[in-house]
Amino acid sequence: MARHLITSAIPYINGIKHLGNLVGSQLPADLFARYQRARGHEVLFLCATDEHGTPAELAAAKAGQDVADYCAEMHLTQAQIAEGFGLSFDHFGRSSSPQNHALTQAFAIRLYEAGLIEERAETQMYSPTDGRFLPDRYIEGTCPNCGFESARGDQCDNCTKQLDPVDLINPRSTVSGATDLEMRETKHLYLLQSKLKDQLEEWIDTREGWPVLTTSIAKKWLNDGDGLQDRGITRDLNWGVPAQFDGAPWQGMDGKVFYVWFDAPIEYIACAKEWVEAGKGDDWERWWRTDKGADDVTYTQFMGKDNVPFHTLSFPATILGSGEPWKLVDYIKSFNYLNYDGGQFSTSRGRGVFMDQALEILPADYWRWWLLSHAPESSDAEFTWENFQTSVNKDLADVLGNFVSRVTKFCRSKFSEEVPSGGSYGARETALMDELATRIRAYEGFMESMDVRKSAQELRAIWSAGNEYLQEAAPWATFKEDPDAAAAQIRLALNLIRLYAVLSAPFIPTASAQLFSSMNTLDTAWPGDVAEALSALPAGHDFSVPENLFSKITDEQREDWQTRFAGIRS
């Protein structure tokens, strides 16, 4: 049994996430976690809300709430929606947890002692109108790299370049809109990433088979321009992990907190501690400390492309720099962007379909299937309502749903709600089993390598193979001449439904559970030998015809949703 530690990029707290966020991180991570569990491996799947930093403060201010209350509420909301989507986290933590505060401060001390954190005096944007320094997203302006006009103080959303507020052209305060900003002297802690450049590059070069998207972004930040830059890791904010605390080996950082990108990835570790302290597990160190059993853990991270620099460089810099035996990531699965109907999804601009709205109009499986089968892997992808309607209707309703419905209803009307006996399998059945064996092994290969779209294609082909078999065998015609032969065909087809439930569970867990319950079986074992897997339900085994598994999306619904989601969410 292998051991898989799986983390999804932690969703930011400033609102409900959109479908792009979902498919770029949590959903494919869930697919992988469910698959590895189904294969009998030990899995620890962690996610959390990312709660610190300026956007949280800004969102709380907008909602007229205290930031701590705002985050607590939004965390619960996000947790409920995640559950609604069937995201099977072993724990959904919070980066604002006491565990993360303690661990973040401990890392900072270790890095300081290793000579990798330095205090620097610097000039920073100060807004006399607002009476405060303006870190990160408290400033917007034009990106010096690409000319995008709404670049934020910490990163340009358009070209992904990490920025410092002082880099922006025509900067303005996002609090007041003030442009009379001035530079004032202040002190901050810096993480000396440049000292770790060689070590990081060497480590990245030894990673095998990483997606090109992952390594190309990492290499770019390592080598472009003057190479990997030291990074300010404190901010003038109240909300966050205090940078001045008992035992801190530096002074004068009162009123400052660690930068959100310093503490957020540390939450991957702290979350495991939260998991134990919530009574769900008994040992977090065997997942995270290579000196305490984590040596045989395979650690996989999932995220969208804008998060790659932090996971390939900043977080590994924290870990390597600490000199302590923490587990480093083995594989980073990164995604391009999903766009929405001719433009970008955007939380701040309220553009697109958000997770809560999606669940209001259709069950999670419809979304899971579409999103995963169209995951933005090799390039950006686009959500359109037409495409969504076509895929759902074709794949889920016409192929899988129809197969299940035809087989179970036919059996009920001609035999009973019981797997029929009689007849035997011939050449057509052997050919189907051979095809399935090949396809299932291919499916496993794609799931192992996290080729999400290819996995979906293979699963669809497995469903189609059943339909084609049914079409050719035509038990409704066979029945008239040879009821025993029809019984054998239906016996096989009913067993195929159980097999589909097993194979499809990582993609569409709710429908899969419905199939298991209709087939009246607890046998969810992953198929080894196909013939054996297709004999799990013996003649005489009771089943029931399931309720309509998937409904088709009508043109009227599609047009209705198209209109409803064309605007901006207020």
Ligand X SMILES: Nc1ncnc2c1ncn2[C@@H]1O[C@H](COP(=O)(O)OP(=O)(O)OP(=O)(O)O)[C@@H](O)[C@H]1O
- Residues that constitute the known binding site: 143, 146, 156, 159, 347
Number of neighbouring beta carbons within 10 Å of residue 394? 12
Q: Minimal distance in Å, beta carbon 18 to ligand X?
A: 6
Q: Does 25 bind ligand X (CB under 6 A)?
A: yes
Give the one entry of Zn ion, ligand X, none that residue 346 binds, where binding means its C-beta sits below a cut-off of 5 to 8 angstroms depending on kind: ligand X
Give the one entry of ligand X, Zn ion, none that residue 145 binds, where binding means its C-beta sits below a cut-off of 5 to 8 angstroms depending on kind: Zn ion
Q: Minimal distance in Å, beta carbon 58 to ligand X?
A: 12
Pairing of strands 331-335, 297-304: parallel
Which residue do the tokens 């109240």 mark?
238
Q: Does 85 bind ligand X (CB under 6 A)?
A: no
Which of 335, 369, 342, 307 has the alpha carbon at shortest distance from 508?
369
What is the number of helices (H) and of strands (E) in the chain? Answer: 22, 17
Give the one entry of ligand X, Zn ion, none that residue 146 binds, where binding means its C-beta sits below a cut-off of 5 to 8 angstroms depending on kind: Zn ion
Cβ proximity to Zn ion: between 143 and 271 the closer is: 143
Q: Does 156 bind ligand X (CB under 6 A)?
A: no
Q: Structure tokens of 413? A: 């009307």
Give the one entry of ligand X, Zn ion, none that residue 158 binds, where binding means its C-beta sits below a cut-off of 5 to 8 angstroms depending on kind: Zn ion
Q: Minimal distance in Å, beta carbon 377 to ligand X?
A: 11
Q: Does 159 bind Zn ion (CB under 5 A)?
A: yes
Q: What is the DSSP string of 241-303?
A: SBSS-TT-SS---TT-EE-HHHHHHHHHHHHHHHHHHTTS-S-SHHHHBGGGTGGGEEEEEEE
Q: Structure tokens of 124? A: 């920073």
Cβ proximity to ligand X: between 371 and 397 the closer is: 371
Q: What is the DSSP string of 320-368?
A: HHHTS-BPPPSEEEEE--EEETTEE-BTTTTBS-BHHHHHHHS-HHHHH
Residue selected from 42, 106, 109, 148 as contacting Zn ion according to rule CB under 5 A: 148
Stretch of 13-21, 114-122, 198-206, 474-482 lying at the interface with ligand X (CB under 6 A):
13-21
Q: Structure tokens of 557? A: 């619904």
Q: Does 108 bind Zn ion (CB under 5 A)?
A: no
Numbered residues of the known binding site for Zn(2+):
143, 146, 156, 159
Residue selected from 190, 258, 315, 335 as contacting ligand X according to rule CB under 6 A: 335
Backbone torsions φ then ψ of 202, nearest 5 degrees: -60, -45
Q: Minimal distance in Å, beta carbon 349 to ligand X?
A: 9
Q: Structure tokens of 356? A: 């809560």
Q: What is the x/- site pattern for ligand X, positions 366-395, by CB under 6 A?
A: ----------x-------------------
Sheet containing 338-340: give its strands across.
343-344, 338-340, 381-383
Residue selected from 298, 346, 520, 551 as contacting ligand X according to rule CB under 6 A: 346
Q: Does 53 bind ligand X (CB under 6 A)?
A: no
Stretch of 138-146, 194-202, 316-324, 508-516 lying at the interface with Zn ion (CB under 5 A):
138-146
Give the integer Cα–Cα distance in Å for 488 and 116.
70
Give the integer Cα–Cα distance in Å for 325 and 289.
6
Give the one entry of Zn ion, ligand X, none that residue 24 binds, where binding means its C-beta sits below a cut-off of 5 to 8 angstroms depending on kind: ligand X
Cβ proximity to ligand X: between 263 and 429 the closer is: 263
Give the integer Cα–Cα distance in Å for 245 and 253.
9
Q: Does 155 bind ligand X (CB under 6 A)?
A: no
Q: Does 306 bind ligand X (CB under 6 A)?
A: yes
Cβ proximity to ligand X: between 300 and 489 the closer is: 300
Residues in CB range of 539: below 8 A, 6 or more apart? 419, 420, 421, 422, 491
Which of 190, 223, 185, 189 has the alpha carbon at shortest distance from 204?
223
Give the one entry of ligand X, Zn ion, none that residue 232 binds, where binding means its C-beta sits below a cut-off of 5 to 8 angstroms depending on kind: none
Give the one entry of ligand X, Zn ion, none that residue 11 binds, where binding means its C-beta sits below a cut-off of 5 to 8 angstroms depending on kind: ligand X
Numbered residues of the known binding site for ATP:
347
Give the one entry of Zn ion, ligand X, none that residue 20 binds, where binding means its C-beta sits below a cut-off of 5 to 8 angstroms depending on kind: ligand X
Q: Does 12 bind ligand X (CB under 6 A)?
A: yes
Residues in CB range of 198: below 8 A, 6 or more apart? none
Which of 549, 34, 530, 49 has the alpha carbon at shortest distance from 267?
49
Cβ proximity to Zn ion: between 77 and 348 the closer is: 348
Give the integer Cα–Cα distance in Å for 211 and 513.
33
Q: Does 300 bind ligand X (CB under 6 A)?
A: no
Site residues (vs Zn ion, CB under 5 A): 143, 145-146, 148, 156, 158-159
Site residues (vs ligand X, CB under 6 A): 9, 11-12, 17, 20-21, 23-25, 303-304, 306-307, 335, 337-338, 345-348, 376
